Amino acid sequence: MDERSDDELMRLSGAGDHAAFARLVERHLVKAGKLAARVVGSKAEGEDVVQEAFLRVWLKAPEWQPEAAGGARFSTWFYRVLMNLCIDRTRKPKTAQIEAAGEIADSKPDALDILTANETSRRVQAAIANLPDRQRAALTLCHFEGVSNIEAAEILEISVGAIESLLVRARRTLRENLADLVTPVGK
Amino acid sequence: MTIERLRQILDAFGADPARWPKAERDAALALLARSPQVRRFREEARQLDSLLNEASEAIELRLDATGVVAAIRDATENVHRLPKSPRSRFPLTGAWPGFAGLAAAAAAGFIVGWMGLASDYSLGTQAEAADQVSGFTVTDVTPW
């Protein structure tokens, strides 16, 4: 197990050490990939976004300021870059899919390509995919990735109160849209 | 801690106290223990948590660290290896010979016309001359 910190791996990466960079990628790849896939609603696009985020890591490495020297914590900075790329990606027109318009069933055609096992899961995934970008990002960070509300606020560059507000709206919308899937709780 | 605040916490973070804001957790748990109404709210939150968890099956990525690093290495090394001549740095590189030909044809036509040597030439022959200089076919040249 490699005990070197992210900051140390960034320093080595900045000096051109591909092995150190590979270790950094390996450490964050799975979490980043899942997070991106959930936020953009597509595994393939999520993987593209992750590639781009790691390219930015490599380009940033030579000028990286470690946390101890007053810089950002690597994971916070990296997930901020990733989330911004994800949100940019969800806002871009999907030109390739427009060409295949005859096969498009709804406005978020690839929202369901994160394959799920059954109809209930597909409905939940679709409901998540239809949330506004920042609500979906907040829910993904806090619920699926277990990021604390404080770190999620730093990643999305908003206040802790704003994170909570995004989560409340996201979960209330989901509860309304999935009301038929839950058992009513007695008053 | 009020019932309204605890409901807000449940709506934001779900039923698992481990996800609740640390500073409010103990007070929230104490209220939960004595309020049946809050326990109903928590049950609603738990049901939504279950749906979300059920839908969050493992996403199998095709990416691996070696592939990501190799792709980035290729991309960045290719950027550094780009030749610095104008032909490769500008996107219209392939059009330069065409532009040069058109300019030469236009200049030749102007000079010939100005010297009065072109009185017997038709537009067609000018177009043919342009064709010979620029490599364009006659149909590519708009008569003027």
The full DSSP string for A145-168 is S---HHHHHHHHTS-HHHHHHHHH
pLDDT (average), residues A32-56: 90
Specify the CATH number for the domain of residue A26.
1.20.140.160
Contact B61 A30 (CB under 8 A): yes
- Whether residue A1 is contained in a domain is answered as no
A55 touches B at CB < 8 Å: yes
Distance between CA atoms of A31 and A33, rounded to whole angstroms?
Answer: 5
Number of structural domains (chain A) is 1
Helix (H, G, I), strand (E, B) or coil at B111: helix
- Whether residue A55 is contained in a domain is answered as yes
The minimum CA-CA distance between B57 and chain A, rounded to whole Å, is: 7
Contact B51 A124 (CB under 8 A): yes
What is the DSSP code string of A56-96? HHHHHGGGPPPGGGT---HHHHHHHHHHHHHHHHHHS--HH
pLDDT at B103: 65
Residue A72, CB-side half-sphere exposure with 13 Å CA sphere: 16
- Whether residue A187 is contained in a domain is answered as no
- Whether residue A186 is contained in a domain is answered as no
Residues of B in contact with A126 (CB under 8 A): none
Percent of chain B with pLDDT over 90: 34
Say what the ipTM of the complex is: 0.75
Distance between CA atoms of A103 and A174, rounded to whole angstroms?
Answer: 27
> By the 8 A CB rule, do A138 and A79 touch?
no
Over residues B38-74, the pLDDT tens digits come to 999 999 999 999 999 887 765 677 888 888 888 888 8
- Whether residue A21 is contained in a domain is answered as yes
Q: What is the largest CA-CA distance in chain B?
A: 107
DSSP A144: I
Give the domain range for residue A135.
Answer: 6-181
Q: Is the pLDDT of residue A5 over 70?
A: yes
- Whether residue A105 is contained in a domain is answered as yes
- Whether residue A111 is contained in a domain is answered as yes
Whose CA is closest to B13, among A123, A166, A176?
Answer: A166
Over residues A86-114, the pLDDT tens digits come to 999 888 765 555 444 444 444 444 444 55
Over residues B90-133, the pLDDT tens digits come to 444 444 445 555 566 667 766 666 665 544 444 444 444 444 43
Closest chain B residue to the Cα of A125, Cα to Cα: B55
- Which secondary-structure segment (H or E) carries B65? helix B65-81
Contact A172 B11 (CB under 8 A): yes
- Whether residue A177 is contained in a domain is answered as yes
